[in-house]
Chains A and B, each alone.
Chain A
Amino acid sequence: MKVSIRMIGLATMFFWVFLIAYCVVAVYSFRDVQFEFGDPQTSMTQDDRMLVSLPMIIHNRGYSNLGNLNVTTRIADTKDALITEANSFVPVIKRNEEVIMFHNLTIDVEDMLQNHQDLMFVDTDLKIYQAVGMSIAELVPVEASSNSSTAWGAPLYGFALGTPEYALYNTTHIRVSVPVSFENHAFFDVAGNIAVRMFSSDDLIIGQGQTAVYAPQHSTFSGIVELYIVNLILSRNAYFDVTFQSPLFSYGPWVIPLG
Chain B
Amino acid sequence: MAETKKSEQHKARRIVLKILKATIKATIVYVIYIFLSQFLVPISTFMPGIQQVAETFMMIYIALMIIGELTSGSIFQHFFGAAKALFVIGYLLLSLNGGIFGFSLEGINLMIDLRLFLMIATLLGLLGLAKSVLQAINYMSEKAEPALSVI
Contacts and interface: CB of A to CB of B under 8 A. Distances in A.
Interface of A: 1-2, 4-5, 8-9, 11-12, 15-16, 19-20, 23-24, 27-28, 31, 139-146, 148
Given A8-B127, A20-B36, A24-B39, A140 B109 contact: no
A244 to B, nearest CB: 38
Contacts of A31: 42
B124 A5 contact: no
Contacts of B137: 1
A21 to B, nearest CB: 10
Contacts of B135: 5
Nearest to A8: B131
Contacts of A142: 110-113
Interface in B120-139: 120-121, 124, 127-128, 130-131, 134-135, 137-138
Interface of B: 36, 39, 42-43, 107-114, 116-117, 120-121, 124, 127-128, 130-131, 134-135, 137-138, 141
Given A1-B138, A8-B127, A146 B107 contact: yes
A120 to B, nearest CB: 31
A146 B109 contact: yes
Nearest to A2: B138
B117 A140 contact: yes
B120 A28 contact: no
A19 B117 CA distance: 8
B43 A27 contact: yes
B43 A5 contact: no
A8 B112 contact: no
Contact of B131 (A9, A16, A144): A9
A12 B124 CA distance: 6
A11 B131 CA distance: 11
Contacts of A5: 131, 134-135, 138
Contacts of B130: 8
A144 B42 contact: no
Contacts of A140: 112-114, 116-117
Contacts of B114: 140
A1 B139 CA distance: 10
A145 B112 contact: no
A139 B121 CA distance: 15
A15 B113 contact: no
Contact of B124 (A19, A24, A143, A145): A19
Contacts of B110: 142-144
Given A1-B138, A12-B131, A28 B113 contact: no
A31 B39 CA distance: 12
Interface centre among B107, B109, B137 (most CB of A within 10 A): B109
Interface centre among A4, A12, A28, A146 (most CB of B within 10 A): A12
A141 B111 CA distance: 8
Nearest to B108: A146
B65 to A, nearest CB: 14
B117 A12 contact: no
11 contacts: A1-B134, A8-B130, A12-B128, A15-B127, A16-B124, A20-B36, A23-B117, A139-B116, A141-B113, A142-B111, A145-B108
B43 A144 contact: no
Contacts of B128: 12
A71 to B, nearest CB: 14
A69 to B, nearest CB: 15
A180 B39 CA distance: 67
A110 B108 CA distance: 32
